[in-house]
A = this chain, B = another copy of it.
């Protein structure tokens, strides 16, 4: 034990850079986001797995391109060399490769991942942050799992109360490949041109064209032909236009991509979510391993003005600042060029598992939700909502208190007995941990905590086998303002009845758990 009491330590008391403690209402909002998302996954038959926070260093090697420099390594303390996971996708592929008896699965995984990136804390860009991944592995008929993932995504944002406030940008790797081929991009420039195209959400075409021709040496004519395609955005009509384009639909990759997309659009129409899609031909996404449809979910204010991005979902391999000794730099929360980025992203990756297994190839499609970003946006929206009252941090339904006149001994034993009976009945209850608490202090505890119901014990009432039950926060003049006498014998029954009657007021915390945050905010405003 290094320090004695009262001997303040010499080091600064803080958490490591880019990490944070979660507490209070932040924790409640975050848990609500997690449970909303999990509910949707379960509705679609998903199971969860949990992998270690660190993997063998070799497992992560060669998976993240130049972002590998952002990987946290464990110190070499003898034994295996390990690194903290950078995402949840590579561990999932490693797990599939190790469990060859599992040929198909719908799995979700909500867990922390680690990147030695430059943080912007209030925008949810951190070094330790949560990802929430959903992936479907297995061989199925074309585009059916893909369609269900998009449907799941829409159900999740609906559950989060984002209806009408988000867009799913979508494209297909094979369509992009087809475009580059028919436009005449040389094979060795495919990657770099694709990554230039991906910048079109933040930069105008003229700038991207300049990068392609001046920096990357692409023929101007080729660039112009690409430009005609990739600036296009739309829906079904864009797809039809491309299918009518003899050049693109004459290309093998292009044709396959367009057919996939057509099938997917049919399925999304049946699932009634096609209106959420923006077919965006500039969406390329950085990672090599995508082989089919790719998508990114954006919301108001989530698009940054910078081209740097800590991907919400699958990694982007866009150029980043050198992270060497980044600890000296400032948090970038106030940098207007840093956006929250996409709030979810993913796509089909049919070959990743075989990078580990060497033999078996398990086709996969997935999405990763940037829950810390979703949290940041949700918190801002709640803060901006003037009608939203404070969210409760605990869920206590009953505060057991006592009062008395001269010679009052505190009725501790009786308060404990009542609390015990309530706990036995499954009721969330508290009492003061003072032998002789004052009534105002007990009321204050209940009020501060937002507890909806008080049980009030007094010597006289107990002698008659009774106690008082009082709904907190009743207005002056209400007939039950001072509480109602009930039989002690019927305590549990009375309490449960009143709690279920109170509904909203009794279960503010439940409401944050059981309804969308928008609804919750309204409910809080109504009853608080």
Task: Decide if B45 touches A449 in the complex (CB within 8 Å).
Answer: yes
Q: How far is the CB of A438 from chain B (nearest CB, A)?
A: 13
- A27 proximal to B (CB < 8 A): yes
Task: Decide if A15 touches B51 in the complex (CB within 8 Å).
Answer: yes
A382: chain B residues at CB < 8 Å are none
Task: Decide if B141 touches A435 in the complex (CB within 8 Å).
Answer: yes
| Identical chains in the assembly | 2
Contact with B along A8-49 (1 / 0, CB 8 A): 110111111101111110010001000000000011111111
Query: Which of B27, B53, B99, B325 is in CB contact (< 8 Å) with A50?
Result: B27
- A155 proximal to B (CB < 8 A): yes
- Per DSSP, chain A at the interface is loop
Task: Decide if B16 touches A62 in the complex (CB within 8 Å).
Answer: no
Task: Decide if A77 touches B116 in the complex (CB within 8 Å).
Answer: yes
Query: Which of B6, B22, B428 is in CB contact (< 8 Å) with A45?
Result: B428
- A497 proximal to B (CB < 8 A): no
A8: chain B residues at CB < 8 Å are 357-359
- A180 proximal to B (CB < 8 A): no
Separation of A325 and B79 alpha carbons in the complex (Å) = 6
Residues of A within 8 A of B (CB): 1-9, 11-17, 19-24, 27, 31, 42-56, 58-59, 61-63, 65, 72-80, 82, 84, 94-95, 97-99, 106, 112, 114, 116, 128, 140-141, 144-145, 148, 151, 155, 267, 270-272, 288-289, 324-328, 351, 354-359, 361, 393-396, 413, 416-417, 420, 423, 426-430, 433-435, 449
Besides A13-B357, A47-B393, A80-B327, 17 more A-B contacts (Cβ < 8 Å) are A1-B288, A2-B61, A3-B355, A5-B361, A8-B359, A16-B54, A16-B56, A23-B95, A27-B50, A31-B48, A43-B428, A45-B430, A77-B116, A79-B326, A79-B327, A144-B433, A151-B420
